[in-house]
Amino acid sequence: MKYLSSRTLVRAIPVMLGALLSFTAMAKTDVILLGTGTPVPDASRSGPSTAVVYNDRAFVFDAGGGMVQRAIEAAQHKGIKALYPTNIQHVFLTHLHSDHILDVSELAATYWWRRDEKLSVYGPIGTKKFITGYYDMLSADIRLRTSGKQPVKNPTLYQVNVTEYTTGNVVYNQGGVTIEAFKVPHGDIRPAFGYKITTPDRVVVISGDTAYSEAMKDIAKNADVLVHEVISDEGLAKLPPFWQKYHSSSHTKTDELAKIANAAQPKLLVLSHILHYSASVDSVLEEVQASYDGDVVIGNDLDVF
């Protein structure tokens, strides 16, 4: 075996560091909103879904109704090829409310016979049962495509790899991307998760659906992008008492989010899953800005940050 001399190694170090810095400089992380809606029907907002794309790899967080169409739009009209349905390999679920999962089956089924790898879905206990329901729902379609005349290069690619967890932990760590699930308080659903995504060039935190959480201040500390759900104080105050009680235990009010943002100081706060009811959607931004002077925007479907 040939060994390099110390002098050769010393000379090589700047070259290796230069190559590493060059690679890091080329690395690019984008945050794309594929759905900013809520259970309240809204033609301009698909169900909750946020994608983080790093070096042409897509990591999708939640897949509400309409997410697949938005992903196709992002791929075809914004040039984000990683979000073409067959290129998406990883989906992380915050919780199993219907508005966050309805397009998981849509994504798994879309052009599955053109996939190179199975879709992987990560989420709380109950995710495997949900995926089994997808198999049952499409059993006739799967049988016809796998045993009929349609050319299918791999008849198992309709299947989904599922990873379940009950506690917060690092749930993905490959290729320079680390994804950590952390518990959040969301009413009666337990567990519910948010996610912290760390790449070589950015830190992104996605709150999922959550009531006010002191822990979020530390989790999102100095994040490059914090995508956080929110409910309007004005809109909430006009709801019947039982709805006020429910939402207060399940969602973060604008004044509470301002408190979190003031402590965490993210470089950019993106408002998503915006519950505003009789108040205007713009009022939500105004309410947050009343107590927080950092960079904050209302997220809309297909925004890229």
pLDDT digits (tens, 9 = 90+) for 216-272: 999 999 999 999 999 998 888 888 888 989 888 899 999 999 999 999 999 999 999
Residue 81: pLDDT over 90: yes
> Which structural domain range is residue 289 located in?
28-298
CA distance 101 to 169: 21
Give the pLDDT band of residue 109 (cuts 50, 70, 90): very high
Looking at residue 12, its pLDDT comes to 54
Looking at residue 149, its pLDDT comes to 85
Looking at residue 16, its pLDDT comes to 52
CA distance 244 to 242: 5
CA distance 135 to 131: 7
Cα torsion 300, 228, 41, 107: sign? positive
Residue 7: pLDDT over 90: no
Looking at residue 158, its pLDDT comes to 96
State mean pLDDT over 19-48.
84
Question: Does residue 222 fall inside a structural domain?
Answer: yes
CA distance 97 to 250: 12
pLDDT digits (tens, 9 = 90+) for 156-192: 999 999 999 999 999 999 999 999 999 999 999 999 9
Question: Does residue 23 fall inside a structural domain?
Answer: no
Longest dimension (CA), the chain: 78
Question: Does residue 141 fall inside a structural domain?
Answer: yes
Query: Residue 162 belongs to a domain with what CATH number?
Result: 3.60.15.10
CA distance 52 to 267: 16
CA distance 208 to 195: 8
State mean pLDDT over 109-121.
96
Domain count, the chain: 1
Q: Which of 243, 215, 195 is nearest to 39 (CA)?
A: 243
Question: Does residue 261 fall inside a structural domain?
Answer: yes
pLDDT digits (tens, 9 = 90+) for 295-304: 999 999 999 9
Residue 26: pLDDT over 80: no
CA distance 273 to 38: 5
Which tokens sit at 1? Answer: 């075996």
* Mean confidence (pLDDT) of the chain: 92
